[in-house]
Amino acid sequence: MKQAISAVLLGAAWQRCRVHFLRNVLAQVPKGSAEMVAAAIRTIFAQPKAEMVRDQLDVIAGMLGRQAPKVETMLRDAAPDLLAFADFPPGHWKKIWSTNPLERLNKEVKRRTDVVGVFPNPEALLRLAGAVLAEAHDEWQTTDRRYLSEHTMALLAPTPAAEVATAELITA
């Protein structure tokens, strides 16, 4: 999946869902330690700045590695995918470090297709799924329930001052 994304969507980041990752980690530790391990891993995501998030992952991986080397390996191996959210503005973090919104949307598509049951052809299924996705898109565009607000999306675009500074660096 990750290779397909990098081949088709050049420059796109792969964000691993922290909830699913935590479930995978907790499956590797004794039940008595699960609460402590989960709390320690959650501290990674509680950091206010990207550098602090990455530093905290290193600290937690080292700390947990003393008792559970496999957990340390899992954390270090998953770090780029698990911390991809940190490359975005902090206002986006809560929206992109989990796949819950995507799962909710997929569940709605499944619910609607289950109601129909059997489709006469693949195009009919595509029309229904497309209608569900278009409805979600319209809702995000016209209500206050936007997935990512225009204000926070503007943080991703380079500002005129940044563009001028970059141009000055290039010509200097």
What pLDDT is stored for residue 57 in this prediction? 97
130-160 residue pLDDT tens: 999 999 888 877 876 666 767 777 777 766 6
What pLDDT is stored for residue 166 in this prediction? 45
101-112 residue pLDDT tens: 788 899 999 999
The CA distance from 138 to 9, in Å, is 24
The CA distance from 119 to 40, in Å, is 48
The CA distance from 18 to 41, in Å, is 9
Q: Residue 32: what residue type?
A: G
Q: Is the pTM of this model over 0.85?
A: no
13-63 residue pLDDT tens: 788 888 899 999 999 999 999 999 999 999 999 999 999 999 999 999 999
The percentage of residues in the chain with a pLDDT greater than 90, rounded to a whole number, is: 55
Other residues' Cβ atoms within 10 Å of the Cβ of residue 59? 13
